[in-house]
Structure 1
Amino acid sequence: MQELARLVVEGDPVALARAISLVEAGTERGEAILAEIFSRTGRASVIGVTGPPGSGKSSLVNQLVARYRSRGRALGVVAVDPSSAFSGGAVLGDRIRMQQHTLDPAVFIRSMATRGRFGGLSRATRDAIDLMDAAGRDPILIETVGVGQDEVDVVRVADTVLVVLTPGQGDDIQAIKAGLLEIADLFVINKADHSGADRLASDLEGMMSLGEKRPWTPPIIQCVATEGKGISDLADAIERHGGFLREGDRLTGRRRLGLRARFLEILRDRLLERITAGDLGEADLDRHEADLLARRVDPYTAAREVLERLEPEGNQEDATRRNVQLDHLGVAVRRIEDRLALYRDILGLELAGIEEVHGEGVRVAMLPAGRTRIELVEPMGRSSSVGRFLEKRGEGIHHICFEVGDLATALERVTGAGLEVAGAEGRTGAEGSRVAFIHPRATGGVLIELRQSDTKAKRGRPATAGSRARSRDRRGSGTGTLP
């Protein structure tokens, strides 16, 4: 581990500030630090505070910080401010309201500029949260820039979202409808000493009663942040929501969605960087702009032309080969529930789900393990291939599965090389995938499964008549079931 990453993990505030600056600047060193500390994240509770401008979010965060410090907690604060029109940096308005905590080493406050991003958060907010998490800050409070109805990125990074509203800001119903109403885990009516607070609370209750019933009903907390009134009730409500999330897999499910959104965002950014850096030079961009302006081509066609250039025609076969990756190891077991004690309870793997694959006569349980997965396979009857495997060999490794970009293309390579395919090609496997198996006689005793996931299967082409004929010839009089 490089020195700066080590210091971050040890909780050094100077190192933490430096690391956040590196990731905010988009440096390779910043990414390297994130890679080193990422395994140490996911432990802190993340609380998002959002709402319209002027609702008193900063004053509320200031009071929550004081509350957590009174309990001996070392915490982090990410205050997202509007960007300066001149420097692009953050306008540090939130720091002004938190001056009483700036000299407290147990409170780490970082202001970040939106830098033109919509959604209420800056691009590097998620990275800063990870770094604070790895540094042992818990909880981590995120204050968004004042948001409108559809700027709700905070729900993708926070475990608990506080939507702060105030009475008397014009049309209260207009202020709370749509996105903000849907993302709230708690409603906070700040400045509750102003007239209209009770009416706003009543309006909120009425609007929530009209929607679908949710497992968690957001409580409505009235407070006066500048005087500290209602903060104790708010802190208790946050704790209750945290307990609710820890029941079952709610917290894991929420974080999974956030990580997926983050991954896709990074992927989109990197793809755009790749296109603009190599495949779409300034001259090409000017040409496309001219064509669009003259209406010679529409934006979708222009974009498709650029994307088609990412993979030259001559490299398509190589691309198909590169898309092959290890998907899972199949382990034959007599009863899934008996083996979960090892894989889930002792080894700590997360159970993604159990399903029945009637076409194969098995139940399967998937457990992600790093970049691959373990598949526990239980026969639903002795006549199934897995049942026969267990009778002959007992429990153990049954097969190795590779994910392929196009099953038909992969099978053409397999049969073209004279290898024997076991059973029918392209039948339905677990998770709605299309699968085929290479017979162990052709692989040195290893049953190999080729799998094309459901989304890829919809785009893939069926096996050709020639490949099906070659497969039948090599199977001979086989039954089409797994060995």
Structure 2
Amino acid sequence: MTVDAHPLTQAVLDGDRRAIARAITLVEAEGPSAAAIIKGVYHRSGRAYLVGVTGAPGVGKSTLVDRILAVLRSRGRTVGVLAVDPTSPFSGGAILGDRVRMQTHAGDPGVFVRSMATRGQLGGLSRAIGNAAVILDAAGFDVIVIETVGVGQAEIEVSRTADMSIVVTMPGSGDGVQALKAGVMEIADLFVVNKADHDGADRAVAQFEMMLGLNEYGANDWRPPVLQTCATDGVGVDDVLDTVDRFRARGGDEAGRRRRARVHGRIRQLVSDRFLEHAEHRVHEPGAFDRLVDRVAGAEMDPYTAAEEVLDQALRSARALHRTDDAPPTTAVLDHVGVAVRDLDTALAFYRDALGLEVEGVEEVASQHVRAQFVPVGGATLELLEATSPQSAIARSIEKRGPGLHHLTFRVDDIAAVLARLKARGVRLIDEAPRPGAAGSLVAFVHPSAAHGVLVEITERPDRTEDRGP
């Protein structure tokens, strides 16, 4: 069921906490309302400052974020926190570890803390984290802190979501070497050596300073500072936030570049996700996509050809879907002329033997109770049709009118789009939905009363060639 996003959207813009929580739940679930909510609030986003906090498990990220919240509130700023937790193997939701550690701010109307599940995604960021940040931004929070799960060495993803990235480490963790391996040196705007009351804190700072010294910085470049904190006592947290303010005040081209890169990545992700979803749904027959998978798994088809087949159908469908109402939804070409005959062998004695035309194999179409024989004639094709049952439309046509011209068939790119357009214009249809035809095609018939006494067949064929496929 789709939730009506309009009242919810306005409530988010008004700062209603229940609406904010509900909206984040919807975008995290990526249901039908997610896009409508973001469309409704996006014009009010772009004001908050996004700070990413990442680091290995156990370095005290959550405690540090809790202290950062307290200092930001003391400075009069409202704060939204997106704590990205591991996914529970039982429920599929966030384990809520970070949220439990931040309960001291539960009653503060200027703080909103939300745990979100990684859902197994690389880098610790859930798919919906960007949308959740937009919701908090539009709701009026000044600063949004994104704390990642810190699993593995893929936290570079933080830099794609935040305006500033803070990498938290601790003495004796060996993160200096790991940072070089994971590329953290390239994405960190600030290094924080937490638990500075432990032995080796000064050595950890010196190690990071040494690695930073290996890079070349221009006169106007930002050289990431290395600060020490003891989050349990709040020592050094003010210095961290002062550094965040200095970095933000610099703004300039780098800040604009990061925001553009974030938007660029988000649009590409949405296009990729939507197109894949559209492609999977546009394989017309139920189970057709799974059959493609089976064919590739059995080495009957290569994955590139399978992908091209799915993409081709999706592209044709997308073109038809986005045309204006006055434009034809697809290009129609004459595919063949159907001729009703009493006996195929007798008919072939004329078309094949007397006229010397090449003929193709006979196919029995059980759903229509006919045997079909295609006879190519230059750029056109004849379809000779013999009834296999008295219930066949061909049998009834011959009984009523005798053998002869039965129908005209037009080939289209997207039969579903054509039928929808015809139905919208009040055209009388025999078939309102496509049904299986010969050679894996999809077919539907238009009633003769709508086509000036001519039975018209619409067909879509699985092949992509310009000539009529079998």
Matches within 5 A, 1:448-459: none
Conserved 8 A contact 1:129-1:140? yes
Matches within 5 A, 1:23-422: 23-170=27-174, 172-213=176-217, 215-245=221-251, 248-279=252-283, 283-312=287-316
RMSD: 2.6
* Distance in structure 2 (CA, Å) of the matches to 1:312 and 1:16: 39
Matched residue type, 1:207: M
Conserved 8 A contact 1:188-1:223? yes
Q: 1:206 to 1:298 in 2, by over 3 A?
A: farther
Task: List runs of 5+ in structure 2 lacking aligned partners.
Answer: 328-470
* Distance in structure 1 (CA, Å) of the matches to 2:44 and 2:125: 23
Deviation of 1:130 (Å): 0.8
Conserved 8 A contact 1:9-1:136? yes
- Where has structure 1 moved over 4 Å in runs of 4 or more? 312-316
Q: 1:292 to 1:224 in 2, by over 3 A?
A: same
Total equivalences in the alignment: 319
Deviation of 1:2 (Å): 2.7
* Distance in structure 1 (CA, Å) of the matches to 2:106 and 2:247: 28
Matched residue type, 2:228: Q
* Distance in structure 2 (CA, Å) of the matches to 1:2 and 1:205: 51
* Distance in structure 2 (CA, Å) of the matches to 1:125 and 1:171: 26
* Distance in structure 2 (CA, Å) of the matches to 1:34 and 1:313: 26
For normalisation by structure 2, the TM-score amounts to 0.63
* Partner-residue secondary structure (3-state), 2:314: coil
| Aligned sequence identity (%) | 49
For normalisation by structure 1, the TM-score amounts to 0.62
Map Cα deviations across residues 148-172 of structure 1 (whole Å, 9 max, x no partner). Answer: 3233221111111101111222464
Conserved 8 A contact 2:190-2:226? yes
* Distance in structure 1 (CA, Å) of the matches to 2:318 and 2:186: 49
Deviation of 1:315 (Å): 7.0
Map Cα deviations across residues 300-357 of structure 1 (whole Å, 9 max, x no partner). Answer: 33322321232349979x98x99xxxxxxxxxxxxxxxxxxxxxxxxxxxxxxxxxxx
* Partner-residue secondary structure (3-state), 1:162: strand
Structure-1 residue corresponding to 2:6? 2
* Distance in structure 2 (CA, Å) of the matches to 1:313 and 1:139: 43
Matched residue type, 1:193: D
Conserved 8 A contact 1:54-1:146? no
Q: 1:207 to 1:288 in 2, by over 3 A?
A: farther
Map Cα deviations across residues 161-209 of structure 1 (whole Å, 9 max, x no partner). Answer: 1011112224641245332221101011111222222222222122222
Conserved 8 A contact 1:120-1:146? yes
Conserved 8 A contact 1:119-1:150? yes
Structure-2 residue corresponding to 1:422? none
* Distance in structure 1 (CA, Å) of the matches to 2:318 and 2:62: 57
* Distance in structure 2 (CA, Å) of the matches to 1:59 and 1:280: 53
Map Cα deviations across residues 44-103 of structure 1 (whole Å, 9 max, x no partner). Answer: 111110111112110110000000011121111111101100100110100121111111
Conserved 8 A contact 1:186-1:219? yes
